[in-house]
Amino acid sequence: MPERGFTSITISRQLYHEIEQRARKEDKKVASFASQLMETMLYVEATFSNSTPLFKLISMSSSEVIVRDNKIDRIVGVKAKATDGGKVKFYCEMDDNTDYCPHTAFAAALPQVRNAIRR
C-alpha cells in the first residue's frame, strides 16, 4: 500500500535497489527519495529543454560511441574496451585516448550505452 499522498509505479528491480540504497544513505524513505529524484529530473528537463545540449549522441556500435561536441563543433569518437575484471572503460580519441574526459563521461552516462553494456 502506498504512503499517504503517493501512488505506485512499476520500475525494474535493479533500479529500485539502486534508489533504495541511495535513500538509505540519505536516511529517507524510498518513496519520498524517488519522488525528489523525479521532481529534480523533470525540473532540469523543463528548464534546459530549449537550450542546445553540449553533447549529443550521434551513433553507437558494440565498440564505439560517436558524440557531437557542440562547444567545439566537432564529432568525437569514444572507444569502449573491456578490462580484465569484465568492466568497460571508455577512451576518447580526441583527448589523447584518455579514459576520463567530458566525452567519456557523457558516453558512459547514456542509458542506451549502459543497457548495451549489460547485455
| Average pLDDT over every residue of 99-119 | 82
pLDDT for the residue 17: 94
Higher-confidence residue of 110 and 85: namely: 110
Band (97; pLDDT cuts 50, 70, 90): low
Q: Output 71-79 pairs: Cβ under 8 A, ≥24 positions apart.
A: 76/103, 78/103, 78/104, 78/106, 78/107
pTM: 0.56
Asked whether the beta carbons of 71 and 23 are under 8 A apart, the reply is no
| Average pLDDT over every residue of 71-84 | 89
Interval 44-74: pLDDT, tens = 777 766 667 889 999 988 889 999 999 899 9
Higher-confidence residue of 25 and 118: namely: 25
pLDDT for the residue 1: 59
CA torsion, ordered 85, 98, 108, 79, to nearest 10 deg: -80
pLDDT surpasses 80 at 16: yes
